[in-house]
Amino acid sequence: MNSTEFSVDRRDIRFVQQELLQLAKLTELPRFKDFTPEDFDMIVEEGSTFVEEVFAPLNKSGDEIGARLDNGKVTTPPGFKEAWRQTAEAGWVGITSDPAFGGQGLPISVAVGVLESMYGANASLYTTAMLTAGSAGLITAFGDQAQKELYARRMIGGQWGGTMCISEPEAGSAVGDITTSAVKASDGPHYLIRGTKCWITGGDHDFTDNNIHLVLARVEGAPPGPKGISLFIVPKFRVDPQGHCVDSNDVTTVRLEHKLGIKASPTAVLEFGAAGDCHGYLLEGENLGMAQMFKLMNEARLQISYQGLGSASGAYRNALAYARERIQGISIERGKDRAAERTPIVRHPDVLHMLMTMKATTEGARALIYATAYYSDMARHGPDDTRQHFKDLVDILTPVAKNTGADQCHEAVRLGVQVLGGVGYTEEFPLAQALRDSKIASIYEGTSGIQALDLVTRKLRMRGGGLFQTLLREIGDLAQNQALLPQLGQAIAEWRDATDKLELTVASLANLAEELGPREGVLNASDVTVYFGDVMCAYYLLKMALIAETRLVEMGAGNSAASNAEGSGLDEQSARETARNSEEARFFYNKIKTAEHYVFQILPRAKAIAAKVQSRNFAALEAMMEEVG
Amino acid sequence: MNIIVLVKSVIDVELNIRVKDGEVVKDGLNYILSKWDENALEAALQLKEAGDGEVTAVTVGPDRAGEALRKALAMGADKGVHVNDPAAAGSDAFGIAKILAKVIQRNAFDLVIAGRQSQDTDLGATGPVLAELLGVPLAVNVIEIDPKPAGGKLNIKRKGDVGVELIEIALPALLTANDSLNEPRLASLRGIMAARKKPMDILTLSDLGIDPETVGAAGSGIEIVEFQPPPQRAAGQKFEGEPEEIARQVVELLANEAKIFA
């Protein structure tokens, strides 16, 4: 771990996967019975090494050079094409894809242990892989056998790329307004596609011979709005049944966007059918496009949370390493003693506060995101009678996890820049790029505002608030736990209080919507999503802290003479002493401190959010902001 | 070509290792495949890819040694043999070589490749002792292998005392790998998935017909009495002042104290 290179937080990932979530038990499910827990560990370990050796070294040069479009041809920065080849050949593109079509079929909750680092080490490179696997997943879910064999298999293997073409110049977040048209051809099973799509991640590149676009379009005569949208497979090059590219398919790359970050990821504007000769192949049936797209979108939203997480994790490790090596100033307790020895900045309280906020934010987000991924595995592959329970948890937590990964983790990266000070603001250290790159997470696959609306107006209202009640029952177990250390007990009580108030705040929002109208009901939707995320992160951090207490006791912490019916005699002093002895014990001790820091230094913002909602002040809605002049 | 690769699970020395009361603190230690063994395996895989044959990875060790073996299978070895017997614990190089010889002699082989030393003990003795027990020629510290054997011989280069030696070695033989021999491949996801279905033999000493008294701590000629942490590095010397003055002081120290110009 150093201040300039990306490194994977293997220890924390292992802790979340093995000790908090105990993913080994997934191998008891029929779907994962061919795996052993050792396979999972090895995949995450080797994947981490792959990321550090193949993804990370290209991140900076990729940012400097960027993807380019010259004479209609896209070139990615040097090394990217070779890295893609290695990633594809090693099988990482299809890490969670259907094994029937060449995928590796791993649980999402295991795969995230590698994917967060792919994002953190080189988001530009990974985005294309993510969209390729995601769009292939749509074909394996909704395509016919021939489409699965011809397209999905090659996409999962990384021989061809894949994209999702949703937005248009006049239809971004409002997907129902798209105008790209599809006309049934008179001379074959295909449709003729015509329209312009924008913000296409991996829209064109030099990684592969072909690029398979999944395009949302409106069939002639279809109903207006979201109900009249269909999904089409539109390859860049038409192919014969053996998969040879035989003909150009009238897909033109109009432009690449010049972006704030992820500059090596080609974000394209694509024109379909400029010459009236773009063939699209319908997926499943007409007018099913929105529902199909949301299958990808829900998975993609969770994936985007990995991006912020990976960036924050890398930034935290860089910032911590820097703070340990950078000597500056005198410890505050030495006062004005100018002769005092200069100290590493990691001793300054303000720097420590920032580092702990980064750590707590990152580790809380990691636990929330991995847990949501685990619920997703269980919703699909768990025992039949538990699937609805886990699906409810996934549905309600997906927007929360996405915003936590995108917004809170971005904030952690910002703190990383701050820890480094002046050099953090330069491109000499990776924090500046991480700050720029990670910003996108709050924008694509549904902005943070869209996630907040999804939570407040859909997920919290589904089945009369039933999903929320399921979640509250799920996390209610924490209050039953008895902490050994008194300050951890206080933290749990504080969390319990914040959780109770979250229920009240959610009820207040619903009341506002009912009494005053929908605008008032959603004015603080983003704030409440933050509150929700804080409660969840604190929940998992506290659970991890309880595990850490047990581990410390196993490692000899606690005063055995003080042992009594109440417990081990673990106290702060003996915990510290044990922590001095080994890196492993220090990991556990700091895990407890991380939970405390989150509960007492971050979670209190929930009170401010509750106050905003209680204020019933709607100045933002009342101000005359629409009128010109 | 039938190639045997010797692998060992060792403590990851990149992590901080602490010594307490003469013992290595085991909490939180990570075990990895010894890095010279990765070079040995890579060499075997390249030989196999250049011609044909089979690569068998062999290890002696407790349960966790199975992880090193699985990594070898994930990198591309065709099968694994794990001698897992508590009585083998505490073996010296001679004991380990005896066990390995029994494993290897069960079948015909063309080549045995080992790391030039293991990353934990840095002893470098197992390979040479094993060559003696197998009665095959030995070349240690190999830095290049011509992948095409000719007339039952392999052309190799090794780093010797006075330079690079070009050697023609008759097969079967035993080589130990220098880390400049190659760049070991990363274990791929496909490789890890394929490894799950590869055969792995788990053997005990009695399966090999070895008397437990002749190996392990019981049969060992050496005993590790105590571990001691390496001495703390002394604080460095700080120079202050004008660059010219600092340079003068540094040169003076290098010349008179470090005597690097002597």
Complex ipTM: 0.88
Both B211 and B258 in one domain: the answer is no
Tell me if B226 is assigned to some domain: no
DSSP conformation class of A445: S
> Closest Cα of chain A to B65: distance in Å?
12
Runs of H (alpha helix) within A143-271: 145-147, 153-156
The answer to whether the CB atoms of B16 and A583 lie below 8 A apart is yes
Q: Does B192 touch chain A (CB under 8 A)?
A: yes
Q: What is the pLDDT of residues A298-334, one digit of tens each?
A: 888 999 999 999 999 999 999 999 999 999 999 998 8
Residue in A445, A474, A549, A596 annotated catalytic: A445
The encoded tokens of residue A118 equal 């792919």
Q: Measured between beta carbons, which residues in chain B are less than 8 angstroms from residue A36?
A: 196
> How many CB atoms neighbour CB A397 within 10 A?
28
Q: What does the alpha-carbon distance between residue A529 and residue A451 come to, in Å, rounded to a whole number?
A: 8
> Closest Cα of chain B to A484: distance in Å?
22
Give SS3 for B123. coil
> Closest Cα of chain B to A53: distance in Å?
9
The encoded tokens of residue A278 equal 């773009």
Tell me if B224 is assigned to some domain: no
Both B212 and B237 in one domain: the answer is no
- Residue A518's Cβ-count burial label (10 Å; 0-12, 13-18, 19+) is exposed
Both B150 and B192 in one domain: the answer is yes
Both B146 and B35 in one domain: the answer is yes
The answer to whether the CB atoms of B192 and A587 lie below 8 A apart is no
Q: Using CB atoms, which residue from B27, B188, B190 is nearest to A584? A: B27
Q: What is the pLDDT of residues A96-151, one digit of tens each?
A: 999 999 999 999 999 999 999 999 999 999 999 999 999 999 999 999 999 999 99
pLDDT at A564 over 50: no
Q: What does the alpha-carbon distance between residue A273 and residue A69 come to, in Å, rounded to a whole number?
A: 20
Both B177 and B258 in one domain: the answer is no
pLDDT at A565 over 60: no
Contacts of A117 (CB under 8 A, 6+ apart): A6, A8, A47, A48, A51, A52, A55, A310, A313
Interface test with B, best of A2, A27, A118, A583 (most B CBs within 10 A): A583
Q: What does the alpha-carbon distance between residue A143 and residue A429 come to, in Å, rounded to a whole number?
A: 45
CATH number at residue B180: 3.40.50.620
Both B131 and B84 in one domain: the answer is yes
Q: Using CB atoms, which residue from A38, A50, A95 is nearest to B70? A: A38
pLDDT at A496: 97
Q: Does A47 touch chain B (CB under 8 A)?
A: yes
CB pairs under 8 A between A and B: 65
pLDDT at A582: 84
Tell me if B141 is assigned to some domain: yes
What element of type H or E holds B113?
strand B111-115
Q: Cα–Cα–Cα angle for A481, A485, A488, nearest 5°?
A: 65
The encoded tokens of residue A509 equal 């929002």
Q: What is the pLDDT of residues A409-450, one digit of tens each?
A: 999 999 999 999 999 999 999 999 999 999 999 999 999 999
Mean pLDDT, rounded, of chain A: 95
State the average pLDDT over residues A211-221.
96
Both B195 and B255 in one domain: the answer is no
pLDDT at A561: 53
Contacts of B50-55 with CB under 8 Å at 24 or more apart are B50/B147, B50/B148, B51/B1, B51/B147, B51/B148, B51/B149, B52/B1, B53/B1, B53/B2, B53/B3, B53/B110, B54/B1, B54/B2, B54/B3, B54/B78, B54/B79, B55/B3, B55/B5
What element of type H or E holds A233?
strand A229-235
The encoded tokens of residue A440 equal 């996108």
Residue pair A377/A108 in contact (Cβ under 8 Å)? The answer is yes
**Cis check: omega of the bond before B137, within 30 degrees of 0:** no
- Residue A43's nearest CA partner among A5, A101, A90 is A90
pLDDT at A344: 95
pLDDT at A563 over 60: no
pLDDT at A450: 96
Residue pair A147/A285 in contact (Cβ under 8 Å)? The answer is no
Amino acid at A57: P
Task: Give yes or no: A549 in active site.
Answer: no
The answer to whether the CB atoms of A46 and B187 lie below 8 A apart is yes
Q: What is the DSSP string of B49-85?
A: HHS--EEEEEEESSTTHHHHHHHHHHHT-SEEEEE--
Contacts of A275 (CB under 8 A, 6+ apart): A250
Tell me if B241 is assigned to some domain: yes
What element of type H or E holds B196?
none
Q: What does the alpha-carbon distance between residue A361 and residue A357 come to, in Å, rounded to a whole number?
A: 6
Both B144 and B213 in one domain: the answer is yes
pLDDT at A302: 95
Both B212 and B165 in one domain: the answer is yes
Q: Using CB atoms, which residue from A39, A49, A104 is nearest to B186? A: A49
Contacts of A5 (CB under 8 A, 6+ apart): A52, A56, A318, A430
Find tokens 């220090």 and name the residue: A586
pLDDT at A556 over 90: no
pLDDT at A559: 66
Interface test with A, best of B189, B193, B198 (most A CBs within 10 A): B189
> Closest Cα of chain A to B26: distance in Å?
9
Domain that holds residue B11: 2-219
Q: Measured between beta carbons, which residues in chain B are less than 8 angstroms from residue A38?
A: 66-67, 70
Residue pair B183/B42 in contact (Cβ under 8 Å)? The answer is yes
- Residue A536's Cβ-count burial label (10 Å; 0-12, 13-18, 19+) is buried
The answer to whether the CB atoms of A587 and B28 lie below 8 A apart is yes
Q: Using CB atoms, which residue from A43, A581, A583 is nearest to B15? A: A583
The most confident of the ranges A267-271, A333-337, B9-13 is A267-271
Q: Using CB atoms, which residue from A39, A90, A584 is nearest to B188? A: A90
Interface test with B, best of A42, A86, A89, A104 (most B CBs within 10 A): A42
Q: What is the pLDDT of residues A578-628, one digit of tens each?
A: 999 888 999 999 999 999 999 999 999 999 999 999 999 999 999 999 888
Q: What are phi and psi of B227, to 5 degrees?
A: -100, 140
Q: What percent of chain A has pLDDT over 90?
A: 91
The answer to whether the CB atoms of B28 and A34 lie below 8 A apart is no
Q: What does the alpha-carbon distance between residue B29 and residue B18 come to, in Å, rounded to a whole number?
A: 10
Tell me if B25 is assigned to some domain: yes
- For A283-319, b/e burial (b = at least 16 CB within 10 A) is bbebbbbbebbeebbbbbbbbbbbbbbbbbbbbbbbb
Tell me if B225 is assigned to some domain: no
Which residues is A83 bridged to in the sheet? none
Both B150 and B97 in one domain: the answer is yes
Residue pair A417/A425 in contact (Cβ under 8 Å)? The answer is yes
Tell me if B13 is assigned to some domain: yes
Q: How many helices (H) and strands (E) does chain A have?
A: 21, 12
State how beta strands B54-60 and B79-83 pair: parallel
Q: What is the pLDDT of residues B115-130, one digit of tens each?
A: 999 988 889 999 999 9
pLDDT at A230 over 50: yes
Domain count, chain B: 2
> How many CB atoms neighbour CB A276 within 10 A?
10
pLDDT at A193: 98
Tell me if B227 is assigned to some domain: no
Q: What does the alpha-carbon distance between residue A387 and residue A138 come to, in Å, rounded to a whole number?
A: 21
pLDDT at A377 over 50: yes
State the average pLDDT over residues A499-522.
96
State the average pLDDT over residues A274-296.
94
Q: What is the pLDDT of residues A340-368, one digit of tens each?
A: 889 999 999 999 999 999 999 999 999 99
> Closest Cα of chain B to A350: distance in Å?
28
Both B259 and B194 in one domain: the answer is no
pLDDT at B240 over 90: no
pLDDT at B230: 81
Residues 23-82 of B with CB under 8 A from A: 25, 27-28, 66-67, 70-71, 74
Both B116 and B151 in one domain: the answer is yes
